[in-house]
Copies of this chain bind each other. A is one copy, B any other.
Amino acid sequence: MTSESEIAKHLVSLFPIRRSITGDGNRETLAYLGEITPLEVVEVPSGTEVFDWVVPQEWRATEAWIEDADGHRWVDFRDNPLHVVNYSIAVDLTIGWEELEKNLFVHPELPDAIPYRTSYYQKSWGFCLTQQQREQMAGARGPFRVVIDSEHFDGSLSYGEILLPGESTREILISSYICHPHMANDGVSGMLVTALLARSLAAMPSRKWSYRIIFVPETIGAITYCHRNSSAIKELAAGLEITTVGGPGPFGLKQSWNGTHWINDLLRNVLDENTAPWKEYPFDIHGADERQFSSQAFRVNVATVSKDRYYEYPEYHTSADNLDLVTPAQLRQSLELYLRVINKMEELRFFRNKQPNCEVMMSKHDLYPKFGGAIKPIPGAPSSLSVALWLLFYLDGNTPLSSISTWTGIPVDALEDALDQLVSRGIVEEVLA
């Protein structure tokens, strides 16, 4: 199991990297994740059309600051990359407070936090700062010198991909995003848990499912990925979007678009095995990249278990989403939970009663009490024979155990025990997922 000290090291290393939807910070991030577990980095040139979108130019900023007429520098993005609106155009202006003010963003509720703002697709510029900074600067002597030394240039969008083949060619998607700079829960936590999870998956001696694990800039990266891999995405069995998994709060399940899909049942089961309370959210068109995978052309069932979910924790999208908020211990809880999810998914099997005609001869397989005649179902506690008979009644190659559990009231564990016996005796056979 991954140690907290290892997690702490990765958190500290990944946190300060200056990420965006493109650029060297993303390449640095992918390189770092690639040391945790091997991944392929794919570069998609600026200008590539991807469905309704176009891969944007790269953005590189080297300076971004505001000084008053006395030469006092009030804001400098070297202190925190959040200070500059991501993808700001270059400016070098000397302007009064009224004009400057229009391009300043503070957080409405957290006076000491720098908010996170972007302007990827509009040529614009701006600074983000704390309320205190803004108030004090308002009292300074203008005009103000405003410098953003940035450039937009043809380059590429970078994403990472890991394909882990399994016994079945059917794939599970695990997706996380790499575009959020200098934030710990909504940023580092998702990509780090995903990479550690991928390392565990890669180390498994065998896998039932094939896994498709991707590290993409949110939205544009997922869309680019869907465009380049649309056939594979359409064939996905299910998916997990891993995001905001490092906070101190409770786990929360955001359902996939079809709330009755087995992925939701499976996640509920894992969460119920925890003693801690957890929340459940219906599918929503807001969220992370499950939005893309759930769109009309794909309709993949992608669910998320988060820990202090995006939108809900006060520090969301601010400089307060930092390493005070996200601890190695919390992140390890999420990693452990997702490992249990993977285990459950690996345990998830589709089976077929090989003998659909009448009953299987249970005694032939040592599944019937030696002396017949006394067999009657015991109320409340179904015998292993009963459980086996229900399985044989329902297992048609398409029905997951969770559905049979719902229909019969028999716990999944009990079904799994009986299933093992039926499989080991060759009565039912696994059908590849």
Q: Contact residues of A with B, CB < 8 Å?
A: 51-53, 85-86, 105, 115-122, 124, 126, 219, 222-223, 226-227, 230, 257, 284-286, 291-292, 294-298, 310-311, 316-317, 353, 355-361, 363-364, 368, 370-377, 386, 389-390, 392-393, 396
Contact = CB atoms under 8 A, between A and B. Distances in A.
Nearest to A116: B373
Given A52-B359, A297-B357, 19 more contacts: A52-B357, A52-B358, A52-B360, A52-B361, A53-B364, A105-B371, A118-B372, A122-B370, A227-B358, A285-B393, A286-B386, A292-B359, A294-B393, A295-B356, A295-B358, A296-B353, A297-B358, A311-B377, A317-B376
A87 to B, nearest CB: 9
A364 B311 contact: no
B374 A115 contact: yes
27 contacts: A51-B357, A52-B355, A52-B357, A85-B371, A86-B373, A116-B373, A118-B371, A121-B361, A121-B368, A124-B370, A124-B371, A227-B357, A257-B393, A284-B377, A285-B386, A285-B390, A285-B393, A286-B375, A286-B377, A292-B359, A295-B357, A295-B359, A295-B392, A295-B393, A296-B396, A297-B356, A317-B374
A296 B227 contact: no
Main secondary structure of the interface of A (DSSP, over half): loop
Contacts of A105: 371
A415 to B, nearest CB: 13
Contact of A376 (B286, B297, B361, B376): B286
Given A226-B358, A295-B393, A393-B294, A373 B122 contact: no
Nearest to A408: B285
A44 B177 CA distance: 68
Contacts of A393: 257, 285, 294-296
